[in-house]
Amino acid sequence: NRAQNKVIAFLCAHSENPNLFVVGDDKQAIYRFQGASVDNFLYFKHRYPRARFISLRSNYRSDQKILDASMSLISHNTELIQEIGAKLLSARREEGLRVVVFQLASKESEYQWVLRGIQDKIANGANPHEIAILARNNADILPLASLLETSRIPYSIESQQDILGHPAVRDAITLIQAVVHFGEPQYLIPVLHIGVYKLDPLDTFRFIQSQNSADIFSLYDTLTDASKLLSLNLRDHERFVHVGEQLSQWASEIQRTQADVMFTRLIRESGLLDFLLSSPSYIEHVNQLAALYDEIKKMMRRNPRTTLVDVAAYIDTMKSHNYLLKRKTAGRYIAGVRLMTAHGAKGLEFDHVFIIHAISGVWSKKRGGAGLSLPSGLGLLSDVQRTSFSQPDSDDSSDDDDRRLFYVAMTRARKSVTITYASYNEDGREQLPTQFLDEIDDESKTIEKPEDLEQKFSFTPVETKKQQKPNQLQESLETYRQFIAQAFNARGLNATALNTYLECPWRYLYVSLLRVPMAETKHQRYGKAIHAALSDIMAYAATWPLQVQTEVRMKGVILDDIPLTGILDRLEYVELATGESDEQKLVRVIDYKTGKRKTRNALLGKTAAADINYYRQLVFYKLLLDLDTPRGLRMREGVIDFVEPAENGTLYTEQFEIDTKETSALTELLRKTAHDISTLAFWDYQCKDKGKDECEWCKLGEQLRGSLQKEENHKTP
């Protein structure tokens, strides 16, 4: 970097032509963010013009086809010390294989294809330690690690990771939180999903459903009562008894036991340590668990009286501030497939390299747009500054750094390079491959679209994974589907449940369908109190000229075979419907909302801070009244009543007339949602757009999928 150049210049200031020998490769200058760039090569040539330049043309790592492909790519760079001239020759004297590019339809199918490619190479004699998966970002590595784990292929992650997100550490933290918050059901449910206890998912569903919604402690009463567990007809109630006994015992001791001692007890007595040691990647898991233990020891050095209660609070604080607890693994000493970023692979080499997610916007910059053009004459920018600001992509050198990184990724391989990308993202939107794939000579690459895998794992934008997944349900999964479909038919849908499903299907499953008991937040308690107060006030409405009903409960409404329910905060009878009998009346539906007022455009989804859930509720209520013909009511308008004054003291309401076009659209949405729930079409769903790295409910879904996959792997020889 620049500082090192300066040091050399000072050390050699005594001579215009000092005795210096410098080795470097400008094509691999990928650490510009650390100050290492091609400029340093140029500076050296300028500072010492008499230095002899020697271009090395023999490569002792890669086969010739890989060299040809990588050199054809890097030749597009504008910042090169020397024009690409003579061919880089492989000293291995092997022509080798062409670079293979696989175009898959979705990210899921891409991961599955990489897994299959790794399995094939291992089956053909490749050492797993000589296989590397290279990604641009750390976040793209973990899903593949999970697939390798369930396929019992050893692996190591050789990059700095947030250990709090590692599966082994997550399980340990889940145990800690359940013991610290013993008695609070929201901390119990995750424990029932961790693999070490081997609880049958269907038993877990039945156990959750057994709780008394009026008593948030009823789950613990059942868990610690063997006779109650036996009455639930679980497949293996003794496992639940074991969990209850352990949690109860640890909870009674956690306040008086030092954190390091209690942590050791938890991972040993729960069986978590033995469970991790039985994994092919046990060193990776134990290494991450040791990092958490080291963090606990640090806390104890500051305060020897630290307990796991303090540790749990510390972890909560880190998560709330998005603080990452990073640790780099000693993965190169683990005999498994090696996962890392391209930056982390610098200086390493492998027989086989997989480069994943080779799309525009990940490996190379997204193209498009003319940029922001500023008017001249304002005196704000010089002509040079104005040109560079208004045309950010006009200079090809803007891609040079990214291209060098892709070049480094390709040249890590001795024998084969496999590049993969998905044509569509999780939302079904098309995404383009990185331009670097086009820049590789056709003679040096092969582009393939594996149709057989596409039919099995991928999905087109029109037919999404939610429609195809039910056709792939295995026999064990079908049992859970039937259970959830039965629960759905009994519960039906209300407006809140629908909105919950659309935000996160896994949250809907646990909160709305299985009714996981959860302590109410202060906002929920406040909202309940306001609604109750308004209901009491409206109880005197019989003396008013306007006919009013409050807390109108609607049940027994059926759309096709879908039971719909709802509670309307307030109904105001407006007038008889024109041309109708006395039995048919027009009503105004008022829905109370606490909290900050939302603008009309926000309610209609027309702003960046849009929240269409409130408006969807009004449409839902109109549909309920339309379908409930015995009531003889027709909704003329819906009103969202913000019951708290704004900062200026004003009370706001928003009134909407809802037409049949909107109820028809909602009808189709309800049909699709009911189908997706009853067929488990959301099985592979993962929250991506909530502004969080993880969703606690999606994590439960991930653990559930993992436990079923492991069970299936154990059954399959």
| Distance between first and last Cα of the chain | 54
Query: Which pair of structure tokens corresponds to residue 233?
Result: 């007809």
Compute φ and ψ for 493, nearest 5 degrees: -130, 140
Predicted pLDDT of residue 490: 81
Predicted pLDDT of residue 35: 62
Compute φ and ψ for 584, nearest 5 degrees: -105, 120
The CATH number of the structural domain formed by 488-685 is 3.90.320.10
CATH topology of domain 99-160+332-366+395-457: Rossmann fold (3.40.50)
- Per-residue confidence at 612, pLDDT binned at 50, 70, 90? confident
Predicted pLDDT of residue 161: 67
Predicted pLDDT of residue 312: 94
d(CA 316, CA 276) in angstroms, rounded, equals 24
Query: Which pair of structure tokens corresponds to residue 619?
Result: 């449409």
Query: Which pair of structure tokens corresponds to residue 695?
Result: 């969703």
d(CA 566, CA 569) in angstroms, rounded, equals 10
d(CA 686, CA 408) in angstroms, rounded, equals 32
The helix/strand/coil state of 639 is strand
d(CA 479, CA 485) in angstroms, rounded, equals 10
The rounded mean pLDDT for the chain is 80
Which percentage of the chain shows pLDDT scores above 90? Answer: 28
> Helix (H) and strand (E) counts for the chain?
28, 16
d(CA 631, CA 568) in angstroms, rounded, equals 14
CB 422 within 8 A of CB 107: yes
| Cα 429 from chain centre | 17
Which percentage of the chain shows pLDDT scores above 70? Answer: 80
- Per-residue confidence at 474, pLDDT binned at 50, 70, 90? low
- Choice between 107 and 458, residue whose per-residue pLDDT is larger: 107
pTM above 0.75, yes or no: no
d(CA 94, CA 50) in angstroms, rounded, equals 37
Predicted pLDDT of residue 398: 62
Predicted pLDDT of residue 310: 94
Matching fold, domains 99-160+332-366+395-457 and 488-685: no
Average pLDDT over residues 445-450: 83
CB 359 within 8 A of CB 374: no
- Per-residue confidence at 541, pLDDT binned at 50, 70, 90? low
Average pLDDT over residues 643-660: 88
Where are the domains positioned within the chain? 2-54, 99-160+332-366+395-457, 167-321, 488-685
The model's pLDDT over 700-713, given as tens digits with 9 standing for 90+, comes to 887 777 666 655 55
Angstrom distances, CA of residue 636 to CA of 209, 550, 588: 39, 17, 6
Q: Is the pLDDT of residue 207 over 50?
A: yes
Predicted pLDDT of residue 235: 84
d(CA 255, CA 258) in angstroms, rounded, equals 8
Pairing state of beta strands 653-656 and 326-328?
A: unpaired
CB 434 within 8 A of CB 360: yes
Query: Which pair of structure tokens corresponds to residue 669?
Result: 């949405």
Predicted pLDDT of residue 384: 37
The model's pLDDT over 485-518, given as tens digits with 9 standing for 90+, comes to 888 888 889 999 999 999 899 888 888 887 765 6
Average pLDDT over residues 254-266: 92
Q: Which residues of 233-249 are buried (b: 16+ CB within 10 A; e: fewer)?
A: ebeebebbbebbebbee
β-sheet bridge partners, residue 338: 132, 156
Predicted pLDDT of residue 386: 36
Compute φ and ψ for 358, nearest 5 degrees: -80, 70
Nearest by Cα to 113 from 131, 101, 124, 125: 101
- Per-residue confidence at 415, pLDDT binned at 50, 70, 90? very high
Q: Is the pLDDT of residue 379 over 50?
A: no
Most confident range (mean pLDDT) of 42-56, 382-396, 640-654 is 640-654
The CATH number of the structural domain formed by 167-321 is 1.10.486.10
Q: Is the pLDDT of residue 90 over 70?
A: yes
Pairing state of beta strands 350-355 and 413-422?
A: parallel
Residue 518, number of CB atoms within 10 A of its CB? 15
**Cβ contacts of 304 within 8 Å, gap of 6 or more:** 258
Query: Which pair of structure tokens corresponds to residue 505?
Result: 């299907």
- Per-residue confidence at 458, pLDDT binned at 50, 70, 90? very low
**Cβ contacts of 249 within 8 Å, gap of 6 or more:** none
